[in-house]
Structure 1
Amino acid sequence: MKINNFNTNRINPYNNQMNKVDELKKAEKPVDKVEISSTAKAMQQISEVEQLRQKKVEELKVQVENGTYKLNPEDIAKSIADFYLKK
């Protein structure tokens, strides 16, 4: 019986795999960068109007939770009438 060295390169596939991993690690990977324009930065800032609105919402939330929020029916009726008269 004759035994030949058939497919001897598959004896230790782990070494081949590790060599490939080492090569990938050595290769430089491109670095991603993100730049935000000054306009976008300005849009992210909370404006003075937003701050005032947020403050008013917080005050109303506290009043509703405490049960001290009072509705003015005349103002509500006027707002409804104004809304429908605009159209």
Structure 2
Amino acid sequence: MKINSYQSIQQNPYRKQVDTSEKLQGAKKKVDKLEISTEALEMQKGNPIEKAREEKVEALKKQIEAGEYKVNPEAVAKKMYEFWNDK
């Protein structure tokens, strides 16, 4: 059985298309830009409540690491009881 190709490999139109698209992409490199509004910048700074919360969390972390933090089991049980019975 003899198979005759109607085009040679060098005349592949897909290959030509890929070659030209690669050349165009190389010539037109796009650079991403990020613009942040003034409102977004203000939101990133945070508010006083968040800063106070961070300070409290840091203090608790230090107490836990030092082994000085004690859990009040009665207060935990009371909060759990209130949570499950108020609903």
Q: Deviations over 1:2-40 (max 9, x none)?
A: xxxxxxxxxxxxxxxxxxxxxx7xxxx988654322221
Aligned residues: 61
RMSD of the alignment, in Å? Answer: 2.3
Secondary structure at 2:70 match in 1:
coil
Secondary structure at 1:36 match in 2:
coil
Shift of 1:62: 0.8
Q: Write out the 4+ residue segments of structure 1 that deviate beyond 2 Å after TM superposition.
A: 29-35
Give the alignment's TM-score, normalised by structure 2. Answer: 0.55
Secondary structure at 2:35 match in 1:
coil
Give the 5 Å matches for 1:7-26: none
Query: How far apart, CA to CA, are the structure 1 residues paired with 2:52 and 2:78?
Result: 24
Query: How far apart, CA to CA, are the structure 2 residues paired with 1:81 and 1:38?
Result: 46
Gaps of 5+ in 2: 1-26
Larger Rg, first or second structure (1 or 2): 1
Matched with 2:53 is 53
Residues 32 and 68 of structure 1: CA distance in aligned 2, closer, same or farther (over 3 Å)? closer
Give the alignment's TM-score, normalised by structure 1. Answer: 0.55
Larger deviation: 33-42 or 49-58?
33-42
Identity %: 48
